Amino acid sequence: MAQQSTGLLPTPFTLRSAHSISLFFIKSIASSSTPEEFQEPSIDHQLLSVLSRPNWQKHPSLNTLIPSLSPSYLSFFFSRNPNVNPHTAISFFDYLSSRNAPSFKPNVQSYAPLLRILISNNLFRVAERTRLSMIKSCETRDDAVFVMGLVREMNRCDDDRSRFKLNVWAYNTLLMCLSRFVMIEDMKCVYAEMLSDMIKPDIYTFNTMINAYCKLGNVVEADFYLSKILQAGLNPDTHTYTSFVLGHCRRKDVNSAFKVFKEMPKKDCRRNVVSYNNLIHGLCEARRIDEAMELFLGMVDDGCCPNVRSYTILIDALCGLDRREEALRLFDEMKEKGCEPNVHTYTVLIDGLCKDFKLDEARGLLNVMSEKGLVPNVVTFNALIDGYCKKGLVDVALDVFDTMESNNCIPNVRTYNELISGFCMIKKVHKAMALLDKMLERKLSPSDVTFNLLIHGQCKEGEIGSAFRLLRLMEENDLAPDEWTYCTLVDGLCERGRVEEASTIFSSMKEKGIKVNVAMYTALIDGYCKAEKADFALTLFKKMIEEGCAPNARTYNVLINGLCKQGKQLEGARLLEMMPGSGVKPTIESYSILIEQLLRESAFGQAYKVFHLMVSMGHKPDVCIYTSFLVAYYNEEKLKEAEDVMDKMAEAGVMPDLMAYTVMIDGYGRAGLLNRAFDMLKFMFDAGHEPSQYTYSILIKHLSQGRLDLKTEASFINIADVWKVVKYETLLELFDKMMEHRCPLNTNTFSSLTTGLCREGRLEEASRLLDHMQSCGISPGEDIYTSMVNCCCKLKMYEDAARFLDSMLTQGFLPRLESYKLLVCGLYDDGNNEKAKKTFFRLLGCGYNNDEVAWKLLIDGLLKRGLVDRCLELLDIMEKNRFRLSAHTYSLLLEGLDRNNK
C-alpha cells in the first residue's frame, strides 16, 4: 500500500536525537579527558612550531610528524588550539587530505573544529566549501546523523561568532547525503527547516526528495513533491522522470514505469542511460528478460550508449534464468565494445558459473579480475566458496577463504554459513562447529541459518542430543527456532527410529505458534512408515489434508513406499492413482517404488506394465529404474536379460551410477565371471565414480569364495561378514586384479578396506594394509586415521590410539571429537590420568567449538560413565585456559553433576 503524506513538520524525536548526538561529539572534542595519544604536548608543540613558519610545507620535521597525525588527533589539535592561523589550518587540512599523507583520511568529526576556526575568523566562503566537503564525506548513517546535528546547531546558534546559516546548496547537499542512507524522516525534517528558514527550494531539492521516496517505491509521496515542482513554476527534468521510472519498478509496477518512460520524449525530456537502466532492471526483476533485451538494443538509436551497469543487469538476469551461455556472449560483447566489466559484472558471472559447477572457469575469472586490478569483494568470494562447498570440495573452499583474508576482504556471516553448510554436507560437523567459535571471535553474530545448518548437520550424523543442545544455544542467542529447525529435528528423530519423540515435538508446534508445514508432515509420515506403522502414517496423511496442508509428491512417495514395504502394494497403487486427481503429478520415484517392489516378488510382467505407464505419462526412465531391473535379473541369475537392460540404458543415453555399476559387478561375480566383474570396475572408474565400501565388499566376497577351505569355513559368505573372515592375502589379490585391469589404487581404496577391517577390530590386518599403502606412495587420509584410532580404543590399546591421533594432527587433520572421547575416557578407565589430561589439553588448542567439547567429552563421555571428579578436573582446565562455555552448557553440566551425586 502506498504511504500517505504525513506533512512536513519535523518530529521532536528526530530533532532531539540528532542534536544530542551532535552535542556529544562536540563536547567530546573539547573534553579534557581525552585518550592518552591525544595528550602529547610535545607533538602539539612541534606541530605548532612547524605551522607557525611561512613555508611550513618544506619544514624538515613535517615528514616525521605526519605518521602520527590521525584525523582524530587533528580534531583534538584544532580544538585545543582554536587561535591557530585559519588560512594555515585549512591549508594544512587540505595538505593532509591530499596524497601528501596517504594514511590520513578525514572523517566527519575532523571537520568540526576546523569549521569553528574558519567561522570565528569570518572566512565564510572557505567554511562553505569545507562544510560541503564534510557533508559529502559521510560514509555511514551515524556520520550523516552527526553532520546533520552539527550543521543544524550552527544554523540555529545564538552566538553571531558561531552562527553559520545554511544556504540552498548546503541544504540540497545535506538532503542528498540523507537520501543516500534512505533517512526519509530526517529528510522531511530538513526540508521543513529549509522552508522555515525562508530558503526557496529549487529543482534539485524537489528531485532529491522525489528520488528518495522512489527508491522505496513510494510514488504517492513522490507525487506530492512533483506537485510542488509545478506550483513553483519549475519544469520536471530527466532526473525527475527517471526517479519515477525507478519508483514504479520498485513497487513491481513495470507497466506504469514503461508509461512514464514513454512519456519522457513527449515532455521534451531526454532519456539517459539511468532511465534505461532503471526500466531494464525493473523488467528483469519481473522476469521479462526478452523485453529488457529489446529495450537494451534500442538504446543507441535513442542516443544512449549502454554502460557497465546496463550490461551487468542483463548478465545477472540471464544467469538467474539459467541462460548462462547468453550471459557469457553478452559479457564478450561488452568487452569488444570497449565497456570494461566491473567487480559486480565479474561477481555475477562467477556466481553463475559456480551454479553450473564450472568452478575452474569461475576461478579463472577471479584471476582475470586480479590481473585487471579489480578487487574482488565479499560477494565475489562467497560465490566461489559456495560453489566449491556445494560440490563437496570444502578444502578448496577454505583455500579461497584464505585468499579472501589475504586480500583484506572481511568474511561475513554468509561466508561462514556457506563453509558450515559444506562441512555438514560431507559429514564433518565437528569442523562446522569449530567455525561457530571463529564467528564469535570476529564479533559476527550467528544467524538462524547458521544454527539451522548446524542442527541439520548434527542430525545427519546421528548426534540428536547435540542437535537439541544447539536448539537451546540458538534460543540463548535470542534467535527463534523456525519451521526448518523443527522439521530437521523431527526428521532426525524419525531417521533414528525415535518416532514417538518426533510426534511429541510435532504436536507441540501449534503451542509455539509455528505453522506445521508439508515437510514436517512428510518427515513424520516417513518415520511411521519406517517404524512399520503404516496405519498411523495413513491417519496422519488424512489429518494433513483435513487441516488444509496439501501433500506434495514426496509425501505420497514416502507413504507409497511404506505401504509397499509392508506388503500393501494395492493400497500403494491406489495412492499412485489418486495423485493426479489431487493435483500432484507422480514423479519417477513414485513409479520406481512400485516397480522395485514388484520386481522383488519377481512379478516382471506387472513391473513392465507400470514401467510402460510411467513412459506414457511422459517420464523418461532414470538410472534407478534400470538398476531395479538389473538387481532383479541378477538375483534370478538371468544374466542375458540383465545385459539387455544395460543395452537399453545405453540406447536411452542413461549412464550407470555407482549403485548400477556395483549391481553389475555383483552379477558377474555371482556368475563366476570375475574378469568381467573387474572390467566393469574399470568402466566405473572411467565414468568418474569412486567405488564404495559396499562395492569392495562385493569384490572381496567373490574373490574369497574361491579361496575358502570348505572343511573349516562356510561355502558362502554373507556380505555382512566379509570383513570378519577376509584374509590379508585376499586383499593383496584384490590389488593384483585391480592393477591387471588398470584400475587405480588410491586413498579411497585403502580407506574403504581399512574402515571395514577396523570395524571388526582387526587391527593387525588394518596396520599391515596401512604399511602397504604407504609403500605404494599413498598418504593415509582422515578417515583411515579415524578408523585406526577408534579401533585401538575399542581394543583398549590407548597408547597406540594416541600415536595415531598424534600422526593425524601432524598431517593437518582435525580428529573427530568422538575419537577424543574414546581416547580420553579410555585413558581414565586405564588409570592413565596424566595422559588423559595432556590429551584433553592438546585438543583444546585445535580450534574445536568449546561447547561441543563439553557436550561430547564431559557430558556424553565422563559424566555418563559416572566419572564426576574427572569431569570437574577437565572443566577446570578449560576455565583456567579461558575456554568459555555458554550458560546453557554450564546448566547441562550442573544437571549431569546433580544426577551423579544422587
Per DSSP, the three-state class of 352 is: helix
pLDDT at 141: 93
DSSP of 824-875: HHHHHHTT-HHHHHHHHHHHHTTT--HHHHIIIIIIIIIGGGT-HHHHHHHH
DSSP of 10-77: PPHHHHHHHHHHHHHHHHHHH-S---GGG--HHHHHHHHHHHTSTTGGG-TTHHHHGGG--HHHHHHH
What's the first-to-final CA gap in the chain, in angstroms? 63
pLDDT < 50 stretches in the chain = 1-40, 708-715
Give the separation between CA 207 and CA 182, rounded to whole angstroms: 14
Give the separation between CA 866 and CA 900, rounded to whole angstroms: 6
- Phi/psi zone of residue 567: left (φ > 0), alpha (ψ -120 to 50 degrees), beta? left
Which amino acid appears at position 66 of this protein?
A: I
- Secondary-structure percent of the chain, ordered helix, strand, coil, rounded to 5: 70, 0, 30
Give the separation between CA 73 and CA 37, rounded to whole angstroms: 8
Angle between helices 728-740 and 763-775 (to 10 degrees): 30
pLDDT at 154: 87
Cell 513527449 -> residue: 266
Which element (helix H / strand E) includes 436? Answer: helix 429-441
C-alpha cell at 389: 562447498
Those residues whose C-beta lies under 8 Å from the C-beta of residue 439, and which sit 6 or more positions away, are 413, 416, 445, 446, 450
pLDDT at 239: 95
pLDDT at 161: 59
Contact 242, 272 (CB under 8 A): yes
C-alpha cell at 10: 519535523
What's the alpha-carbon Rg for the chain, to the nearest Å? 36
Which element (helix H / strand E) includes 570? Answer: helix 569-581
Query: What are the backbone dihedrals phi and psi of residue 761, each rounded to the nearest 5 degrees, phi first?
Result: 75, 20
pLDDT at 160: 60
> What's the length of the chain?
902
pLDDT at 103: 64
Per DSSP, the three-state class of 4 is: coil
Q: Taking all residues of the chain, what is their mean pLDDT, rounded to a whole number?
A: 89
pLDDT at 708: 46
Give the closest residue to 398 by CA, choosing from 441, 364, 438, 449: 438
**What's the pLDDT tens digit per position in 343-373?**
999 999 999 999 888 999 999 999 999 899 8
Which amino acid appears at position 95 of this protein?
A: Y
Query: What are the backbone dihedrals phi and psi of residue 799, each rounded to the nearest 5 degrees, phi first?
Result: -65, -40
Apex 606 CA angle, 603 and 610, nearest 5: 130
Query: What are the backbone dihedrals phi and psi of residue 523, each rounded to the nearest 5 degrees, phi first?
Result: -60, -45
C-alpha cell at 875: 572443566
Apex 856 CA angle, 852 and 862, nearest 5: 135
CA dihedral (527, 529, 532, 538) in degrees, to 10, reads 120
Helices (H) and strands (E) in the chain, counts: 50, 0
Contact 889, 852 (CB under 8 A): no
pLDDT at 64: 79
CA dihedral (414, 418, 420, 424) in degrees, to 10, reads 150
pLDDT at 2: 36
Measured from the Cβ of residue 200, the count of other Cβ atoms closer than 10 Å reads: 10
Per DSSP, the three-state class of 687 is: coil
Give the separation between CA 1 and CA 584, rounded to whole angstroms: 35
* pTM beyond 0.95, yes or no: no
| DSSP conformation class of 302 | G
Which element (helix H / strand E) includes 404? Answer: helix 394-406
C-alpha cell at 805: 591421533
pLDDT at 382: 96
pLDDT at 100: 57
C-alpha cell at 109: 568529526
Measured from the Cβ of residue 510, the count of other Cβ atoms closer than 10 Å reads: 10
